[in-house]
């Protein structure tokens, strides 16, 4: 059972609103305020994942290593998606705290690939800019995405700098000691690594974009 009073929040949490991690939210809505197509829409985006087969057993929530930090447990997210709570689901911390460990996916008795559903929801939230301002995980996803498009590889150094630029510049200081240590042990590349045939990668990704636009 979760305690009804929110646990004390430490401000060290990289600019996260306390309510995002600790407050249990209760949502009441009239049916007319819901999006009746949301469930089908998400199922389609997650390759026809049969989230309507969910029996609400809670195996996903029980097996998830981070469910107790989420504002809605994975089981509740599935119920809310089916019922059309679009805004609440897309603005939830749940979808971002999912670290893709696939434990729920392999344990679900109805073979629902929950990790894919979480990805579909993340993609929707990013497309609609429906995540809390300054929330570091979607910002990291966007910066990572841009970095790979630019060079074909990920560079931890630039990723950290670009994230700090969009969250809080003070975040960089947290990593000073770590950065120094990585540097002295030869585990940090200062030169931005990239692939040679960037044009080939650009054409490939553009081709997929075109195919996606045509499918719309």
Partner 1 sequence: MKYLYYPGCSLKSTGKPYEESLKAVFSALKVPLEELRDWNCCGATAYMAVNEVKSFGLSARNLALAEKQGEPAENGHVQLIAPCSACYALSLKTQHYISENEDIRKKVERGLKEASLTYEGRVDVRHPLDVLMNDIGVERIKEEVKSPIGGKVACYYGCQIVRPYATFDNQASPKSLDKLMEAIGATPVQWAMRSRCCGGTLVGTIREVGFRLNYLILKEAEKKGADTLATTCPLCQFALECFQPDVNAAFQEHINMPVAYFTQLLGLALGIPDKKLGMQRLFVPYKKAQIGG
Nearer to partner 1, 4 or 11 (CB): 11
- CA dist 28 and 77 (Å) reads 15
Q: Which one among 76, 115, 117, 162 touches partner 1, defined by CB under 8 A?
A: 115
- CA dist 110 and 112 (Å) reads 6
Interaction of residue 92 with partner 1, rule CB under 8 A: no
Interaction of residue 41 with partner 1, rule CB under 8 A: no
- CA dist 14 and 163 (Å) reads 11
Half-sphere exposure of 57 (CA within 13 A, CB side): 14
Under a CB-based contact definition with an 8 Å cutoff, are residues 22 and 7 in contact? yes
Q: Which one among 154, 158, 168, 172 touches partner 1, defined by CB under 8 A?
A: 154
Nearer to partner 1, 27 or 195 (CB): 195
Q: 103: closest CA among 70, 64, 73, 77?
A: 64
| Contacts by residues 207-212 (CB-CB < 8 Å, ≥ 24 positions apart) | none
Which residues ranging from 187 to 216 are in contact with partner 1 (CB under 8 A)? 187-189, 193, 195-197, 200-201, 203-212, 215
Residue matched to tokens 């809390």: 132
Stretch that binds partner 1, among 24-32, 54-62, 79-87, 149-157 (CB under 8 A): 149-157
Interaction of residue 12 with partner 1, rule CB under 8 A: yes
Under a CB-based contact definition with an 8 Å cutoff, are residues 139 and 163 in contact? yes
Binding site for partner 1 (CB under 8 A): 10, 12-14, 16, 21, 47, 65-66, 69, 96-97, 99-103, 105-106, 113, 115, 119-120, 122-123, 126, 136-138, 140-142, 144-145, 148, 152-156, 160, 177-178, 181-182, 185-189, 193, 195-197, 200-201, 203-212, 215
């Amino acid at each position: 059972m979760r305690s009804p009073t929110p646990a004390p929040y430490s401000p060290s949490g990289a600019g996260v609103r306390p309510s995002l991690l600790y407050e249990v939210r209760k949502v009441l809505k009239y049916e007319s305020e819901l999006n009746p197509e949301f469930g089908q829409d998400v199922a389609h985006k997650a390759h026809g994942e049969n989230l309507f087969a969910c029996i609400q057993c809670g195996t996903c929530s029980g097996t998830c290593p981070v469910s107790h930090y989420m504002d809605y447990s994975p089981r509740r997210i599935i119920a809310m998606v089916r019922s059309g709570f679009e805004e609440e689901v897309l603005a939830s911390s749940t979808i971002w705290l999912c670290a893709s460990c696939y434990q729920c996916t392999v344990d679900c008795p109805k073979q629902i690939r929950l990790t894919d559903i979480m990805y579909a929801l993340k993609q929707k939230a990013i497309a609609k800019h429906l995540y809390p301002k300054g929330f570091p995980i979607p910002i990291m996803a966007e910066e990572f995405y841009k970095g790979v498009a630019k060079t074909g590889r990920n560079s931890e150094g630039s990723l950290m700098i670009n994230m700090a630029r969009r969250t809080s510049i003070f975040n960089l200081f947290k990593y000073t000691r770590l950065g120094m240590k990585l540097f002295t042990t030869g585990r940090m590349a200062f030169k931005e690594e990239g692939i040679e045939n960037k044009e080939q990668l650009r054409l490939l990704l553009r081709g997929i974009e075109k195919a996606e636009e045509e499918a719309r």
